[in-house]
Amino acid sequence: MDLTLAILKPDCVRRKLTGKAIDFIESKGFKTLCMKKVKLDRPQAEAFYAVHKSKNFFNDLILFMTSGPCIPMVLQKEEAVTEFREIIGATDPKKAKEGTLRKLYADNVQENIIHGSDSMENAKKEIAFFFPLTEIIS
Residues with catalytic function = 115
Specify the 3-state DSSP secondary structure of 89: coil
Residues 75, 82: contact at Cβ < 8 Å?
A: no
Q: What values do phi and psi take at 7, rounded to 5?
A: -130, 120
- Alpha helices, DSSP H, located in the chain: 10-14, 18-27, 42-48, 58-65, 80-88, 101-105, 120-130
Q: Is 52 helix (H, G, I), strand (E, B) or coil?
A: helix
What does the DSSP 8-state code read for residue 134? Answer: G
